[in-house]
Structure 1
């Protein structure tokens, strides 16, 4: 690898056109400037033809100048990435549970359209996988519903999400018996969510396990497809329900005092969250709350 100081000296010589002026600018002797150029010529061949009042550059010298400019540009890019300059191109790796991810994904697409220098990587995964993906640096930031106690992770409050009882449009739900008639549409967190919410709206000992189960899906986008076709009811988070395309075919039933969960965004504690990721999170939070 060519010595950076030799390159810097050579660039000053070319700019000023004089060994004397290059030495004065750099605080070197003319002999030192000549030595730096000679080291480069030992590696690359003749670079400078000395004339009585000027210097003439060889083709090798022009190639060396291009190389020097490329090195400076690469260093600027490195400095920008290390300092995480906001406008530096890069990707934004986000991993979330499907319940909030279905609401975030279209907003993330809008963000990339507005900022094409940043590429979105968005993964939907269960919370244990979210934690592992952030800890192993596969994603910059994750969103979870329970604040982790792992010292390797930093957690900040993101938004709050509430549970909703969702029934087919026009369904009348006044009593526990009405839910028995409708039947339950289950999902991986369905029973836990339903028991938390329904015990407030109906009897305290309400257990969704006592109701007929009319369907199951582990895909958040498909759960409400059952409900929209009149096949049963379900309990899901607000943002998952709000992301469903056919709102006219479903209905949210008032269920007493709300059941609210705080969502946390997490990232590695050993280094700061990249500025582009922090900026994207602020955008998402503003859009969701707006």
Structure 2
């Protein structure tokens, strides 16, 4: 563990570029600043290239500065997490797959606008990253498309999300030959989703693996750009389709059977959600239900 006074002198020196200004800013002598830097260099090696005008950071110095900045971020996160009793302020951290993330993100921003003391930290990630982030306590809560079999993680039903077959507006998608003619727009979860839906919707056909692929994107917000331009069809979760801004350029092909996924609200099992996190989830649940998402999320499940 490094002496915090040494680190403060180093970071201030990196910002000011001058031993004199650093000493003035910290209210100590230049000799004290120099001594702090020497203590650090004894342990880490040269941190500065001393020049006539101002010192430059060595690679070791740049690494130490990054370390100092990470400490500051960690301290701010600690203060935010400790303000448990405040439902209108503090940090709410949530990690979600792209589809539901596209839907809830504008609502999260609206909540922060209405409550400026609230700090929203949101990350888009596939299921396996959501699982790891919650297990390692990097985010307070997350959403997943399967219920994790992990005793460290509590899970509660949050919403249902159908898979949809989406084609360009005015094009047919009610036969296997029509889909083959269009071609498939792939994405990271595209083939499994297409296999699950199309194998039931069009039994007896060769399967999604045999469809010609006309495009690919790993950005959920861009997948339907291909479809809107008539370049092919895709299979995508409903929330991702609803978030697309130009609904008149795409069409959903209805049919049976419907394939519906469950979205699970997850968090570390030994730590209940904070009051502000529960408030955010309740508000998101209400907004999704009003929009036809059918969510009646519980914040107590396991």
TM-score w.r.t. length of structure 2: 0.67
Partners of 1:176 and 1:241 in 2: how far apart? 22
Partners of 1:79 and 1:249 in 2: how far apart? 47
Partners of 2:79 and 2:97 in 1: how far apart? 34
Please tell me whether residue 152 in structure 1 is matched to residue 148 in structure 2: no
Match of 2:241 in 1: 241
Match of 1:213 in 2: 213
Partners of 2:171 and 2:240 in 1: how far apart? 20
Please tell me whether residue 261 in structure 1 is matched to residue 256 in structure 2: no
Partners of 2:113 and 2:132 in 1: how far apart? 29
Quote the offset at 1:106 in angstroms: 0.9
Quote the offset at 1:209 in angstroms: 1.2
Partners of 1:249 and 1:231 in 2: how far apart? 12
Quote the offset at 1:132 in angstroms: 1.2
Number of equivalences: 213
Match of 2:163 in 1: 163
Q: 1:193 to 1:81 in 2, by over 3 A?
A: closer
Please tell me whether the aligned partners of residues 87 and 117 of structure 1 are also in contact (alpha carbons under 8 angstroms). Answer: no
Match of 2:225 in 1: 225
* CA RMSD of superposed structures (Å): 1.9
Match of 1:191 in 2: 191
Match of 1:112 in 2: 112
Please tell me whether the aligned partners of residues 80 and 91 of structure 2 are also in contact (alpha carbons under 8 angstroms). Answer: no
| Structure 2 runs not aligned, ≥5 long | 1-77, 291-302
Larger radius of gyration: 1
Please tell me whether the aligned partners of residues 87 and 279 of structure 2 are also in contact (alpha carbons under 8 angstroms). Answer: no
SS in 1 for 2:132: helix
Partners of 2:252 and 2:80 in 1: how far apart? 48
SS in 1 for 2:240: helix
Q: 1:231 to 1:272 in 2, by over 3 A?
A: same
Q: Name whichever of 107-116 and 174-183 sits farther off.
A: 107-116
| Structure 1 runs not aligned, ≥5 long | 1-77
Quote the offset at 1:203 in angstroms: 2.2
Q: How far does the alpha carbon of each residue in 1:124-180 deviate from its partner, in whole angstroms, 9 at most, with x for none?
A: 011111111112221110110111111111111100000000000000223100001
Partners of 1:215 and 1:282 in 2: how far apart? 38
Q: Name whichever of 81-90 and 224-233 sits farther off.
A: 81-90
Match of 2:5 in 1: none
Match of 2:17 in 1: none
Q: How far does the alpha carbon of each residue in 1:167-223 deviate from its partner, in whole angstroms, 9 at most, with x for none?
A: 000002231000011000001110111111112222244511111100001110010
Q: 1:145 to 1:79 in 2, by over 3 A?
A: closer
Partners of 1:287 and 1:189 in 2: how far apart? 26
